[in-house]
Amino acid sequence: MTVIDDVRADGVTLEQIQTLFNPRTIALIGATDKSVWSLSIYKNLLNSGYAGEVYLVNPKGIEVHGVQSYPSIAALPERVDLAFVMVGTGVVLQVMQDVADAGIPAAVVLTSGFGEVGAEGARLEAELVRIAQEGGVTILGPNGNGYVNLASNTIPYGLAISGTIRSGGIGVGLQSGALASAVIQLIQTRNAGLSLLCSMGNESMVSLTDVMRYLVADEATKVLALFIESIRKPEEFREIAQAALAAGKPIVALKVGRSVMGAKAAQAHTGSLVGDDAVMDAVFRQAGVIRVNSLEDLIVTADLLASTGPLPGPRVGFVTPSGGACELISDRSEDEGIEIPEFTPETIARLKEVLPDFAAARNPIDVTGYILIDGTLAIRALETVDDDPNIDEIVYIAELPHVVADHDVAVERFARQAEVMRNTKKPVIVISNTLVDITPAGREVAAAAHFPTVVGGMHHGIAALGAAIRWSEQYRAARAQSAAPAIELEPLEVESAPGEVFAERRASLLLAENGVPTVPHVLVTSADQAADAAEQLGCPVVIKLHADEIAHKSDIGGVKLNIASADAARTAFEQVVEAGRTAGVAEPAALVQPMRGAGVELIVGVVRDPQWGPVLAVGLGGIWVEVFKDSTLHMLPVTHEQVKEGLRSLRSAKLLEGARGTQAADLDAVADAVVAVSELAQRLGDRLESLEINPLLVRGSDVEALDALITWR
Amino acid sequence: MTVIDDVRADGVTLEQIQTLFNPRTIALIGATDKSVWSLSIYKNLLNSGYAGEVYLVNPKGIEVHGVQSYPSIAALPERVDLAFVMVGTGVVLQVMQDVADAGIPAAVVLTSGFGEVGAEGARLEAELVRIAQEGGVTILGPNGNGYVNLASNTIPYGLAISGTIRSGGIGVGLQSGALASAVIQLIQTRNAGLSLLCSMGNESMVSLTDVMRYLVADEATKVLALFIESIRKPEEFREIAQAALAAGKPIVALKVGRSVMGAKAAQAHTGSLVGDDAVMDAVFRQAGVIRVNSLEDLIVTADLLASTGPLPGPRVGFVTPSGGACELISDRSEDEGIEIPEFTPETIARLKEVLPDFAAARNPIDVTGYILIDGTLAIRALETVDDDPNIDEIVYIAELPHVVADHDVAVERFARQAEVMRNTKKPVIVISNTLVDITPAGREVAAAAHFPTVVGGMHHGIAALGAAIRWSEQYRAARAQSAAPAIELEPLEVESAPGEVFAERRASLLLAENGVPTVPHVLVTSADQAADAAEQLGCPVVIKLHADEIAHKSDIGGVKLNIASADAARTAFEQVVEAGRTAGVAEPAALVQPMRGAGVELIVGVVRDPQWGPVLAVGLGGIWVEVFKDSTLHMLPVTHEQVKEGLRSLRSAKLLEGARGTQAADLDAVADAVVAVSELAQRLGDRLESLEINPLLVRGSDVEALDALITWR
């Protein structure tokens, strides 16, 4: 989908979106028996049991889809709430004028041939938007299939839907029209409940973030599921995501274009840390958005979360009818960071009473094939686990029947289990063995038995469970944080010119003055001063040429390490100053710093992403950043905990634990320093182009910036 | 499943397995209306259209499942080919004696209560096997559900199967009885074709490898799909896997227990390189076994390969009806190493004629929603891509209908596409959008239209495609290699005592004599000799204490680096010898070696895995092996190409490319040295406990072992 930014209009209100999605009357403009779209929309509206009036508009005023049409919008018997426009591209502008003139507040424009086909189409789209804005019409589309609102039984949607969709808590926003059918089918075959599904089209007025805002406010919606090609309003996206987290509504997102990782043209080191998709990952992670990589995970994860809401913790008790399932579950749980704790002795003793002699009373529980003889085995095991204090929630592996021989027998069997699950103290999540359809027959049994959601297969289900557990932790952290008073950071004005660079002394003074631990230094202009400084700081020291204009001082002999005495400091001063003169520095001075021992060297940088703004990157120096691009990214502001979490997620994280005789890094001390850097960057605001500390030396709890570079805009 | 090794009997022949799986008559021993198993087996045999006679044996001789039973095995009217034993545990031994006495050659024992329940059961199982062996009976089980042989319509299988299974090319071996139902359902809902499915049970006689051997020989089977808990006969497994690769029959395996990574009690460094599951991975990789981590991937991958056989190459042309699909495909293809090349100008020109104006003629092709108007769009695009020389095979994204309104119309539509696909020059792989069932209605359409296999969803399908492409490359490499004459390695006898350790000089002499590039050294016993050696080798040199009994020589001052002159060599000799004396070495000598400059340091080791025998481990030294356990494992023998592939798979691989100013490692030279090590290890055979080179120094094409340690058994 081509992004033509200039035709997008901001400022669609929540109220406008609510009107768009909840019309009391609908007119289909351009209805004709010759169009598959027209027929599909009409059928969808009929089948949905839509309570309002549907009018058809056809210029000939003939019978269409078996009912009498109106020859024009003006001829409609009342002012409708929604115009569904599917006329030819050539007449869309005129029709939109008619829509506006008729006072219709909202329109879905199915017609294509706009921004998505090139510059000429983009001009047409801009004109369409102008007419709509002037006429007070909110447009969804163009080049979109409309939406499915099951909360209000309103389906002005342009593609055929076969079978019914269950009404429920998943709200879907899709930036791909054609995949909508696949998503709907997946929702149906999972027996998942849908609140609203919106096919975005070109987003000329209503954008994905507008739909997200609606879904967060919508009572019927418990979870948002998004298929994202590009986020057009980054700030809005972050705000709404935050609101969703606060409201306890998870967002699950499939963001495509992972593989397009254009390298950024930014400052040498830190710039290379930032790739577009890595920034996207950081945005999602920090905003509490669950990122998935398949349509299956999108729907399965949303389905699970729509049924459970926030989960109490990471410790899961599993009840399965098979040893093979136990092993698969163990493997997958380790992948996903799910804990499978041991049961308490009490639970084990009680389980032994429930299970056959040859079964092992351990987590995950294999109730064994004996379940064929005693059908209550699994559910009784579940009741036992419900009392175990080591367990936060229970996973129950079970299948709805694919084919139902005797409906009543099946309903009774599942109703018995459902009853037990309704009365547990802990959340119970039912997961099937594999991702096979919940068939119409199975759906009927589930409905009649009030059987809970059956999550789609151990493979995707345990991925979903892991995501749900992590999201729940974030949700709790966000609630705890929102309880604490927010700290307002005061803007900091620094005298600087656009493009100016603060190296070494000026950069490190700015850092030191603003709470970032920085190695001390003394500026010296004579050998005597150098000797004094060495004594004052304590040997060994480092003596460096002080000249911002020279980027790589060690290359010209401008850095002397490990100076062991005041006398040596004199010599070193003369040498670096001479090196400076040779390199053309008029009045070279030098900096004297204490020489630090070995430690872990981090690079901490803040760079500006063109879309998302300042991004904080933290990683280990040397090969880790240069060769392995191993860094953790954060959007600002960032919390102490998020920085620690990020450090632990580095591929090189083990080196922070004190490998090979070096001291383990105190992650709290590192996080404090990094948060100080990020707060400074926030206070510097838009003036800051980039800030890099390289290295931030970590020796246990001693954390110090040894060198820094700041570039101004 | 408890493994009780001593009750397992070797030497079940292929002929015995063939008899087991293809009986002309079957007796169900212990048939009773009271057992769900008995009923299921009987129904399965009836429903399968089994051509042979089925007799029921019930001690009361009453009517069972509506037919007259026989009171004993002896009373049967003929000698049957297969006894399906489902009597109580207490009478199994007697029944097995009766089976043997009746001359029945094969038995499935469904009854449980044997090795899987403990020591007492294991004794019973041993007795069962003894009776069977003496009586010439081949047992599948006990504690197994039997098998489903669709190639011969024989389903002596103890669990209910609802609906039909299509006969086809997938042969399944399962070490989990309870998951078999999930696997069968997955096969049905994928409309995949099954040749044979065998539920292994306790494997007291027939083991998974026996079934594999049958499947490799079986004409109906094109692909093997295995659910593995443990491989009991490692050598057989490797041999059969090799035979399967040579025969062009892929093996897809889901091996559980990944997370149980017990650390091995082996030599400090190299030992830590080897984890059980990592060895399993190496075995699979080298044997051409495709490892998957979910039941979905197991069946989807087998389904794809059963329909395509070996694929010609990694360059895929994609035809899709959606831009969203194109993006998902691009992301997933990058994950899987699948190439999506650009089309030739000719293809692009022809595509432009086929596609609507606003569609982009590029790979992956989005034929756009216009396909709703022109249903031939996608298949015509496919025909165009078929002529593109940049493309090895074509993926066509399409769905079979979930619900069929008009069977004939649907059949015609799919038959038209199927016809085109039959006539392409390149393999066409049809993949659906998501993993939803192929419903019975969809199956009927596919069958009537002769529509090819529809692989289950882009997510799993592209994983399967990636695996298939990699397997196909291995298949071709194996064929090319088998064409070359095999090199016989001559055993090498080395005088050594069990537990003896060859360090430094003896180890490096052995390596050097056997083709492993090794840094030269001179053994010296006086300061003069040391000085001569330094001159002869060229300074700088290293001088080390020569004393096998001292493990960490540098700790006691026994190693002097960077000796720059003959004089310095004298002093260094005196120092290391003195250090040796202090440490209690009676007549210390020293080794003089040239001092090498910086390079990439590898560790190459051969250790003995208790199950799989010698394992070769290669990795970078320092943090890479110590902290990150980053190594590539290979079973012996290993090829030059496999070693290179392994080096490229290291997480630290980029450091071999010459990061940070070091010279890029010549991987061919490294692989030559590593293959030389592996051949030496093979020649040393069972006598070798472990061999470690640390480091193997790599400076461009210069590869040298600087130090080594060999331990004997």
Q: What pLDDT score does A5 carry? A: 41
How many Cα atoms within 13 Å fall on the side-chain side of residue B261? 14
Q: Do B321 and A177 touch (CB under 8 A)?
A: no
Average pLDDT over every residue of A394-415:
95
- How far is it, in rounded angstroms, from Cα B411 to Cα B401? 10
Q: List beta partners, residue B313.
A: none
Reported ipTM: 0.93
Judge: B659–A185 Cβ closer than 8 Å, yes or no.
no
Report how far residue B360's alpha carbon sits from residue B322's, in angstroms, rounded to the nearest whole number: 12
Chain B residues within an 8 Å CB radius of A189: 402, 436-437
- Contact in structure between B321 and B366 (CB atoms under 8 Å): yes
**Assigned token pair, A570:** 């004199």
Across A546-560, average pLDDT: 84
pLDDT of residue B660: 67
Nearest CB to B627: which of A327, A623, A654?
A654
Q: Is the pLDDT of residue A474 over 60?
A: yes
pTM of the predicted structure, to 2 decimals: 0.93
Contact B382, B319 (CB under 8 A): yes
Please give the pLDDT value at position B586. Answer: 86
pLDDT given at position A494:
92
Is residue B539 within 8 Å of residue B561, measured between CB atoms?
no
Partner residue opposite A258 with nearest CB, options B112, B331, B654:
B331
Which residue in the set B259, B324, B332 is minimally distant from A331, CB to CB? Answer: B259
Distance between CA B526 and CA B547 in Å, rounded?
Answer: 15
Q: What is the number of other CB atoms lying within 10 angstroms of the CB of residue A587?
A: 9
**Between the CA of residue A230 and those of A165, A181, A286, what are the distances in Å?**
28, 20, 18
The reported pLDDT for the residue numbered B323 is: 84
Beta carbons of B327 and A256 less than 8 Å apart: yes
Contacts of A258 in chain B (CB under 8 A): 331, 334
> Of B491, B493, B509, B511, whose CA–CA distance to B691 is shortest?
B511
Q: Give me the half-sphere count of Cα atoms (radius 13 Å) on the Cβ side of residue B265.
A: 0
Write out the DSSP string of A8-77.
------HHHHHHHHS-SEEEEET--TT-HHHHHHHHHHHHTT--SEEEEE-TT--EETTEEPBSSSTT-S
Q: Which of A296, A325, A402 comes nearest B459 by C-beta?
A: A296
β-partners of residue B263 are B275
* Three-class SS state of B665: coil
Between CA A150 and CA A220 the distance in angstroms is: 9
pLDDT of residue B265: 25
Q: Do A436 and B437 touch (CB under 8 A)?
A: yes
Q: Could you tell me which residues come within 8 angstroms of residue A574 by beta carbon, excluding any fewer than 6 positions away?
A: A527
User: Min CA distance, A257 vs chain B (Å)?
Assistant: 6
Write down the pLDDT at residue B262: 26
Chain B residues with CB-CB distance to A400 below 8 A: none
Mean pLDDT, consecutive 10-residue stretches, chain B (713 aa), reads 43 93 97 94 92 96 96 97 96 97 98 89 96 97 95 94 94 92 96 97 95 97 95 92 96 84 28 62 94 98 97 96 88 92 96 90 88 88 96 97 94 96 97 97 97 97 98 94 78 92 91 96 95 94 88 86 94 94 90 92 93 92 86 93 94 86 90 97 94 95 94 94
The tokens of B633 are what? Answer: 């494992």
CB count within 10 Å of CB B536 equals 13
Contacts of B294 in chain A (CB under 8 A): 328, 457-459
Residue B166: Cβ-neighbour burial (10 angstroms; 0-12, 13-18, 19+)? middle
Which residues of A fall within a CB distance of 8 Å from B333? 259
- Amino acid identity, position B618: V
User: Is there a contact between A627 and B655 if contact means CB atoms under 8 Å apart?
Assistant: yes
Question: At which residue do the structure tokens 């060690």 appear?
Answer: A554
Residue A650's contacts (CB-CB under 8 Å, 6 or more residues apart) are A619, A620, A624, A630, A631, A632, A656
Nearest-angstrom CA–CA distance, A530 and A574: 10
Mean pLDDT of A87-94: 96
- For B442, the token pair is 């969809």
User: Residue A229: which pLDDT band, with cuts at 50, 70 and 90?
Assistant: confident
- Chain-wide mean pLDDT for chain A? 91
DSSP secondary structure letters along B59-75? TT--EETTEEPBSSSTT
3-class DSSP state for residue A533?
helix
A1, A112, A145, A178: which is closest to B368 by C-alpha?
A: A178
Q: Three-class SS string for B524-563?
A: ECCHHHHHHHHHHHCCCEEEEEECCCCCCHHHHCCEEEEE
Minimal C-alpha gap between A680 and chain B (Å): 32
Element (H, E) at B516: none
Tell me whether residues A655 and B357 touch, CB distance under 8 A.
Answer: no
- Helices H / strands E in chain A, number of each: 22, 29
Phi/psi for A152 (5° steps) reads: -120, 20
Contacts of A654 in chain B (CB under 8 A): 627-628
Contact yes or no for A178 and B402 at CB 8 A: no
Burial level of A87, CB count in 10 A (0-12/13-18/19+)? buried
- Measured between beta carbons, the chain B residues lying within 8 angstroms of A358 are 112-113, 116-118
What's the pLDDT score for residue B307? 96
Q: Which amino acid is at B207?
A: S
Q: Is the dihedral of CA A224, A227, A228, A233 positive or negative?
A: negative
